[in-house]
Structure 1
Amino acid sequence: MTKFTLRFSNFAILTFIAFSSFLLQAQQSDLSVEKIMQDPKWMGTFPSGIHWGIESENIYFQYNLENDPEDSLYKINISNQSKIIKVSQQEKENMIPRYGDYNDKRTEMLFTENGKLFLYNIRKASKKELIDLGERIIDPQFMADDSKISFILNDNAFIYDLDKGSITKLTNINKGTKREEKEKKLSDKNEWIQDENLELLEVVNQRKEKAEASKVYRKSKARDDSYAFYTGDKQISGISISPNGKYVSFNLIKRERGDNTEVPDYVDQSGYTKELPARSKVGDDKTEVELALYNIEKDTVFMVSTDQLEGIKDLPDYVKDYPDKEWEEKVREVITSPAYFSENGEKAIVSIRSKDNKDRWIAQLHLEDGSLTVLDRQRDEAWIAGPGLGWSFGGGTLGWLPDNKHIYFQSEATGYSHLYVLNVDNGEKKDLTPGDYEVFDPELSNNKKYWYLTTSKEGPDVRHFYKMPVMGGKMEKLTNMTGNNQVYLSPDEKYMAIYYSYSNKPWELYLKKTGKGEAKQLTSGQSEAFSNYDWRIPKLIEFEAKDGAMVPARLYTPSEETKNNAAVVFVHGAGYLQNVHQWWSSYFREYMFHNLLTDLGYTVIDIDYRGSAGYGRDWRTGIYRHMGGKDLSDQVDGAKYLIKNHDINPDKIGIYGGSYGGFITLMAMFTEPDTFTAGAALRSVTDWAHYNHGYTSNILNEPINDPIAYRRSSPIYFAEGLEGDLLIAHGMVDVNVHFQDVVRLSQRLIELGKDNWEMAIYPVEDHGFVEPSSWTDEYSRILKLFNESLLNK
């Protein structure tokens, strides 16, 4: 760090000693970095992995009441809710898997186990093995006729008839290419030798003539209508079988990810440096995806063409920033989801996404010829995303209603992700959940008459669970606890297991009947050491950004007795993540650290900056083509808010964060030196051209096409602006944000002659730290940085 040479008078020395003594007395805490960053078991035991038993009698979850080395499976029976029972190994082995396919009456469920197909009778609580073919059966489904089952084996579709016990193979899909019989051309010399041999040896000649006659006979008897499909150099994925057994769709994928990187592990147990395989860099994903439709009756495959989709040749708006470049108008590459068949199997839809991330089409797939008709197009000049919209190969929230004419899906068309239905016959579309809030994880009820869904309707800081008629209408709120209510419905929908937390209360398990009434707490896992501290409830505030937007934040304020007029700005990671809310944060260590900082007199602000989740499309895309733009100015405006409203000394403001938060910290220290005196950048991206494709190309496009976006978004280009004190911390076996990032940055800082920075490296840590010793070391350095750089101002 920067070194200072100071000369004090005797009076000044005495004054400084007295002031320091006052600070030591005033700024005390029952917390310490060592306490906070120890193994999280010190906090208590908390449930996770909640799921119901198939008979709706037991709630199962991961827990630890016996101080085991790791969590084990426990259960609570709804008839005896006060007793938490550890599940025996025998019971675990006999448990029915939680995922399967039900018949229409929900009396039976299909599932696979060790590659075998089973049928479970829920009323009789009996399990029956149906098929063991010696190979792995996957994705069994009841067909439109519940007496038939479809399944997939070795990339082919099959039907099993429950009544007859027979198996029918629907498709003939083969890997590789067709092998044509070819006559081997002999050289002149070998042809002469063969003719001589046949002339001399009569038996050999007779065998040759017989073999040729047999070949001619087999060809004459071969079926002219036999059909086989060969995948060539592509892989099969996403096989989907229509409920009437007439059609099968599948994706053909050719993966070419470019040059993969390697991360050296210097502390491998072997004593040698080992190379860990890692991702490729942005711009290197050359995956190709095609959709195929296998028409069983016609015994042929149609390759689905997307060349005529509306807007398929549209260029993005950012091309106007490159007037000297000639842009070719061409059919854009797309990625298709598997087909979604209607319940009667007569119709199908597919979700299609452009690889440049600008378009999502939902199209009807015409089963007679594999052609497409667009039903809905969502265009976003930034990038398509948001709750329920899925990712590359998935359609997200997408499917059919039982009437076989309405589809449902989620869209950000209004600026917030909402649930829609659309009539495929007339194109009429309806937003079922209008308003300035978001919808999460909608699912149809067992009888298909209602939706169950989670929303932020009461505010972005809380989550509640609702029930709503299938075609929209009044939403009935089924939860009532302030915070986050993650609901797991029992299979019979009579009960809700609620995974609940509040700002200062970690997740616990509750039970409630589906409907009105109060939830009953089933677990209470806080340790005495954890509950003895009075954990703060951060104040939720909004401040105005320079562009007029109201920015949400969490605020931690010290008592007047301990206040030191210094502030710390925390920047959450992931970019698209929400941390300003009224539930237990995924950044629980940082939450506890903020309590410690507040005890010591710091004011702490935690901001949901532009790019964060939970606030709709405009907030999500506020960082498009300029990371380190509004997401950084929101931090600066937060600091200004503290100066104006909380009497913070402008020279005593620090900033820190990990991953995306580390990136913002670097940008803050390099480009806003008048605002931030000290910063700790943890596991930070320093050059976005070196990060992965899936995340980065959404926000910044590709480096070769949009270098402006990368140049203004990457901290390594702004390192000359460093003036304050900087701590860089990084795990050396980070296969997400590579250690190479900070190595390159350190060389840049060295070449620039900067001496006010230091680096802490962690040889055994990946992107998310695991070892308590690493957490303790890292956060001790952060606290030391702020104490030395901010409190001495």
Structure 2
Amino acid sequence: MRKLFISLCLFGTLTVSGQEITLDKIYSGYYRSNGIAGIASLKNGENYVVIEPSGIAKYSYKTSEKVGNIVDGSFESYIFSDDESKILLLKESEPIYRHSFLGKFDVKDLKSGIVISLNNGNFIQEPTFSPDGSKVAFIADNNLYYQDLNSQKITKITSDGQKNAILNGLADWVYEEEFGHARQYEWTKNSDAIVFIKSDESAVPEMYIPIYNKQLYPSEMRFKYPKAGETNSTVSAQLYRLDNGKVIALDLSGFKNYYLPNVFRTAKADEIFLISSERTQNASDVLKVNTKTGKVTRLFTETDEKWVDTDNVTLEFLEDNSFIWGSERDGYRHLYWYSADGKLKRQVTKGNWEVTDYYGYNPKTKEVLVQTTEKGSINKVVSRINIQNGKSVIISNPEGNNRANFSGNYQYFIETSSTAARPFTYVLKDGNGKKVKELQNNDQLLQKLKADNMVTREFFTIPNEAGDQMNAWVMKPKNFDPNKKYPLFMFQYSGPGSQSVSNSWDGGNGLWFNHLVQQGYIVACVDGRGTGYKGTKYKKTTYLNLGKYETEDQITAAKWFGKQSYIDADRIGIFGWSFGGYMASLALTKGADVFKVGIAVAPVTNWRYYDTVYTERFLRTPQENPKGYDENSPTEFAKLMKGKFLLIHGTADDNVHFQNSLELSEALIQNKKQFEFMAYPDKNHGIFGGSTRPQLYQKMTDFILENL
């Protein structure tokens, strides 16, 4: 269950004036923010490209001026070949799940101007240039192909692909959702072989979802979904060599091989890395594949007494094929430098902070470029860190949430930055962090919001019963009176490794929270145990007891607020979506004496109904740990329900199935509990489309106004 970003879908334009942030304004597009799409550097280090309405535009770092369009026309995304002589253009797409989609792609030769349609213009998935730029591999109907760009000949690598049975080079549902990507194949550096993962999901239990869509008889969406403790796909690693056209299975029998989530190209010809693990996910093998011989060698095993984050792998190969590896082994996520044969050279970063993103390595300065929490867990900064001595230099803003897109030679970067009080800005900087030019800002948006009496989040910490200081924020009315009692509305997500208390702009729920504040509520958020960026001890406390300590911390936070002179302790509500909906459900049962109102959107209500990879990473299987499942399930505590409860779910949710809310409903009904239930026909986990989001947020707002 990857964290759901709840954006308020903004569309259209409308000129509105006034002194209040309203739902009508939010959904009219009045608060639309500016951005820059598809930023990428060219390898010369002198130019970068972005997606504009007129095409793929080229800009100069030195002058920040537009040079022209590389390609004219409207495209959803693009990928350059390694030598940048060709560009892969996505013209049309149809979404499948969270990451996967069907697309129609063209390849344009930027020297000759020749345009070639991949797969004769038919839909494909996950196309990738060979490193020499002469071919493109892709997937169609669960089979792996490649197309020669000179002859346009299409070669079929596999023939056994079948829906809900065999996938070649493509992740199944649970791999895609929990390991975070759909593509499971990689070219070798010399373009003469491909290593891919074959998944046999024939024995995986099938989930079916009725699709109504104004049909006389509903149709069905059927897909393989392994629930906790059930059968997963059987996976194997396959090697295909172009010279002989043969596919051979790699022998992984001597290694951890239950999950094969990652395939990486190295800096060496004839070599691929695989990351593998057992079902328990507390140890991962780093494997080297010789693609000439098919021999597989284990370099080392990453272990953890609880779990290894195989959905968040950092692996970067340097020119000599040594590599940078991300690990939490010292209690914080840091970088480690390994030799090409898997021997640890040194720990690159160290301290009570974490590396949260990796941007690249500058061989001239021997520095890695990273995003870190060096300035506190609610901030993210961009730093240069020397891999030999660990010296760190912050080159972004020292506060807020900062990201970087670096030039090919690392002499420039485009900084994307925001704080809780300032929407996104895009600034071109040199490699030392000196501002060259502001490329884009959202000053007009900020002026509109200030004119409509926007309030910003105040950050602080709250102690829990374990003695931890939990990060928190609060939003108070503009005319806040400390002698007055206010109702409190709490928002949280609380999932493992997540973060909701961040010094960053929130143009989604943040606007809605402002609307509630203007109706006289105080809105707050607390990141309790299990959340991220405060070290592994804090994050992994919840192991085998998912939901227990997270609920205790939300109850503790609510009680802390209730003791403040300005909070009405009898009027505290809580809201969450997905994992947050699970937490809101627990709060209205286990925390029923504290919370008067709860809103749960698309909640898990029993972890037995959720998928294997995510659930078992934190709870093991239900067979191994039945108490961990049952003692933290809202359905088991329905008899404790008090207060007003609004349950919301989309009927076509492929992630957290509608079944969860139906089971909780039945438990509440059998315990004679009254509650409200809103079902959204044919809507998935995000619950959006047409007027859905405006109706949903109006529904929740009315519920709060009437009951809190």
Question: Into which bin does the TM-score normalised by the smaller protein fall?
Answer: 0.7 to 0.9
> Which residue matches 2:378?
461
Shift in CA distance, 732/172, structure 1 to aligned 2, threshold 3 Å: closer
Q: Is the 8 Å Cα contact of residues 496 and 514 (structure 1) preserved in structure 2? A: yes
Q: What is the match of residue 437 of structure 1? A: 353
Q: 1:503 aligns with which of 420, 426, 441?
A: 420
Shift of 1:96: 11
Number of the residue aligned with 1:515:
432
Aligned residue identity for 1:568: F
Cα distance in 1 for residues equivalent to 2:54 and 2:605? 40
Question: If the length of structure 2 is used for normalisation, what is the TM-score?
Answer: 0.79
> TM-score scaled by structure 1?
0.71
Q: Could you tell me how far apart the structure 1 residues matched to 2:624 and 2:345 are?
A: 36
Secondary structure, aligned partner of 1:442: strand
Q: Match of 2:325?
A: 409
**Are 1:489 and 2:403 counterparts?**
no
Q: Does residue 644 of structure 2 align to residue 663 of structure 1?
A: no
Aligned to 2:554: 635
1:180-329 alignment runs, 5 A limit: 235=168, 238-243=184-189, 249-256=195-202, 258-266=204-212, 268-270=213-215, 272-277=217-222, 280-283=225-228, 284-293=230-239, 303-309=249-255
1:622 match: secondary structure: helix
1:543-593 per-position Cα deviation (integer Å, ceiling 9, x unaligned): 1111112211112234117832432221237554312111112xx343223
Residues 416 and 438, structure 1, Cα contact 8 Å, conserved in 2: yes
Alpha-carbon spacing, 1:644–1:349, altered in 2? closer, same or farther (3 Å): same
* Preserved CA contact (<8 Å) 1:264 1:733: yes
**Which residue of structure 1 lines up, in the alignment, with residue 688 of structure 2?**
770
- Any conservation in 1 of the 2:455–2:476 contact (CA below 8 Å)? no
Check whether the contact 1:47–1:61 (CA below 8 A) recurs between aligned residues.
Answer: no
* 2:72 corresponds to 1:91: yes
Q: Contact 2:458–2:474 (CA<8 Å) still a contact in 1? A: yes
Cα drift, residue 336 of structure 1: 5.8
2:640 corresponds to which of 718, 721, 728: 721
Contact 1:116–1:129 (8 Å) recurs in 2? no
Q: Aligned pair in 2 of structure 1 residues 341, 734: CA closer, same or farther (>3 Å)? A: closer
Letter matched to residue 533 of structure 2: G
Summarize the alignment of residues 361-376 of structure 1 with structure 2, pairs less than 5 Å apart: 361-365=285-289, 370-376=294-300
1:563 aligns with 2:488: no
In 2, the alpha carbon distance for the partners of 1:540 and 1:764 equals 39
Q: Tell whether 2:334 aligns with 1:418.
A: yes
1:573-630 C-alpha deviation (Å, 9 max, x unpaired): 7554312111112xx3432233333344433220112232323333333332223211
Unaligned runs of 5+ in 1: 1-28, 63-70, 103-107, 121-125, 178-231, 313-331
The residue number in structure 1 matching 2:23 is 34
Q: Once the two structures are superposed, what CA deviation does each residue of 1:665-690 show, in whole Å capped at 9, x if it has no partner? A: 11011111221122122222222222
Which residue identity is paired with 1:175?
Answer: S
- Specify the structure having the higher radius of gyration (Cα): 1
Question: What residue number does 1:221 align with?
Answer: none
Residue 530 of structure 1 is matched in structure 2 by 449
Counterpart Cα distance in 1 of 2:599 and 2:593: 16
Change (3 A) 1:609 1:257: farther
Q: Distance in 1 between matches of 2:537 and 2:291?
A: 38
Letter in 1 for 2:688: V
Contact 1:281-1:690 at 8 Å conserved across structures: no
Q: 8 Å contact 1:454–1:463 — kept in the other structure?
A: yes
Aligned equivalents of 2:54 and 2:252: distance in 1? 49
The SS at the match of 2:567 is: coil
CA distance in 2, matches of 1:96, 1:684: 33
Q: What CA distance in whole angstroms lies between the structure 2 residues aligned with 1:376 and 1:353?
A: 12
For 1:706 and 1:293, locate their aligned partners in 2 and report how far apart those are by CA, in whole Å: 38
Quick one: distance in 2 between partners of 1:246 and 1:678? 61
Structure 2: give runs of 5+ residues left out of the alignment.
1-17, 90-103, 171-183
In 2 relative to 1, CA 652–497 (structure 1 residues): closer, same or farther, beyond 3 Å?
A: same
Report the CA distance shift for 1:423/1:669 in structure 2 as closer, same or farther (over 3 A): same
Establish whether residue 572 from structure 1 lines up as the match of residue 493 from structure 2. Answer: yes
Q: Report Cα offsets for 1:147-174 as digits up to 9, x if no partner.
A: x9676588578999xxxx99999x9966
- Flag the 1:665–1:98 CA change in 2: closer, same or farther, 3 A: same
Structure 2 CA distance, aligned partners of 1:279 and 1:574?
24
1:688-715 deviation line (CA, Å, top 9, x unaligned): 2222333323222333443222212221
Tell me what 1:197 maps to. Answer: none
Secondary structure of 1:572's partner? coil
| Rounded Cα–Cα distance in structure 1 between residues aligned with 2:562 and 2:494 | 25
Provide the C-alpha distance between the structure 2 equivalents of 1:723 and 1:372, rounded to a whole number of angstroms. Answer: 58
| Matching residue of 1:50 | 38
**CA pair 444-509 structure 1, distance change in 2 beyond 3 A:** closer
1:280-299 Cα offsets, whole Å, 9 max, x none, are: 25144521222245689999
2:258 maps to: 333
Q: Deviations over 1:165-209 (max 9, x none)?
A: 99999x9966359xxxxxxxxxxxxxxxxxxxxxxxxxxxxxxxx
Name the CA shift for 1:253/1:534 in 2 (closer, same or farther; >3 Å): same
Residue 706 (structure 1) aligns with: 625
Q: Does 1:60 align with 2:50?
A: yes
Q: Deviations 1:467-523 (Å, cap 9, x if unpaired)? A: 234545322322126312221123454432222222133323222223242363333
Give how far 1:720 is off. Answer: 0.3
Partner of 1:355: 279
Task: Determine the C-alpha separation between the residues in 1 that align with 2:452 and 2:692.
Answer: 24
Q: What does 1:735-774 correspond to in 2, within 5 Å? A: 735-755=654-674, 757-763=675-681, 765-770=683-688, 773-774=691-692
Is the contact between residue 58 and residue 70 of structure 2 (CA under 8 Å) also seen in structure 1? Answer: no
Give me the whole-angstrom Cα distance separating, in 2, the residues matched to 1:502 and 1:581: 8
* Stretch moving more, 432-441 or 129-138: 129-138
Secondary structure of the 1:618 match is helix
Match 1:596 to one of 500, 504, 515: 515
CA distance in 2, matches of 1:601, 1:626: 36
Alpha-carbon contact 1:281-1:689 (below 8 Å) kept = no
1:215 aligned partner: none
Give the whole-Å Cα distance in 1 for the aligned partners of 2:134 and 2:69. Answer: 33
More strand by share: 2
Helix, strand or coil at the partner of 1:362: strand
Report the identity percentage. Answer: 22
Q: Does residue 343 of the first structure (1) align with residue 281 of the second (2)?
A: no
Q: CA deviation at 1:384?
A: 1.9
Distance 1:307 1:647, change over 3 A: same
For residues 71 and 341 of structure 2, the distance between their equivalents in structure 1, rounded to whole angstroms, comes to: 52
What CA distance in whole angstroms lies between the structure 1 residues aligned with 2:615 and 2:41?
40
Asked if the contact 1:419/1:433 (under 8 Å) is kept, the reply is: yes
Counterpart code for 1:580 = V
Q: For residue 175 of structure 1, what is the aligned residue in structure 2?
A: 159
1:150 and 1:416, CA in 2 relative to 1: closer, same or farther beyond 3 A? farther
Task: Please tell me the root mean square deviation across aligned C-alpha atoms, in Å.
Answer: 4.2
